Structures are given as structure tokens and as C-alpha cells.
Amino acid sequence: MTDKTYTIDAAGKTLGRVASEAAKALMGKMRADYTPHKDSAVKVTVTNAGKLYLREKKRAQKTYQTYSGYPGGQKVETLASLSARKGKGAAIRLAVTRMLPRNTMRVARLKNLSITE
């Protein structure tokens, strides 16, 4: 398969719309030769991640949880603090990660995702 590159402009778009478009492209569903069990060799570039449209309510209420497995090891972070700490690109990467199927190809697909602020 030949490499195909998709560019998504995130300026003025919402987080979910950008992430779902990127996830679909990474899975190869935008190609005519889509096969679920094969790597599609598609590279996705998300540009203008800093101009992503986020409502204030979503910034304050959307939370990301991680759990280490130890007592007291649960951490909760809001979207506002995540984007302040790592930028809006981290929120896009997390959303795309959670939209991809949880199988062995997920790590390889995420390596083909690049996000520029």
C-alpha cells in the first residue's frame, strides 16, 4: 500500500469533530481498499490545534481520569488544566486514542498522528 497523507485544519472546529475525522482516517476508512485487519499506512496531520474551539463549560466539566492501581492512586484532571499544562494537542491525542479500537494496531496507528499547535 502506498502512504497517504491527510491534513485536518482544527481552526474553529470542536474537539470531537476533529478527533473523529482523524480516527477514521487513521483506521483507513477513507480509503477504497479498507481492510479492518491490515495497517492502512495513512499519516494524519492536525494543524492549528491551538485554534480549536472549546466551550467554557466543556473546559471546566470535562475530566480525564487515570488510576495507578494503588490506594490513593486515582488522579482526575480537567480539560482546562490539561490544555494549560500540555496544550490543546494533548486533548486531541487523548480523544483520538480513545476513539481507536483497543487492539494491537492502536499504537502503530497513533505513531502516524502528528499534531501542530
Which structural domain, as residue segments, surrounds residue 77? 4-115
Length of the chain: 117
> CA separation (Å) from 25 to 5, 21, 61?
9, 6, 28
Please write the tens of the pLDDT for every residue from 98-117.
999 999 999 999 999 999 98
The band of 72, judged by pLDDT with boundaries at 50, 70 and 90, is very high
The one-letter amino acid at 92: I
pLDDT at 73 over 70: yes
CATH number for the domain harbouring residue 19:
3.90.1180.10
DSSP, residue by residue, 71-103? TT-EEEEEHHHHHHHH-HHHHHHHHHHHHS-SS
| pLDDT above 90 for 2 | no
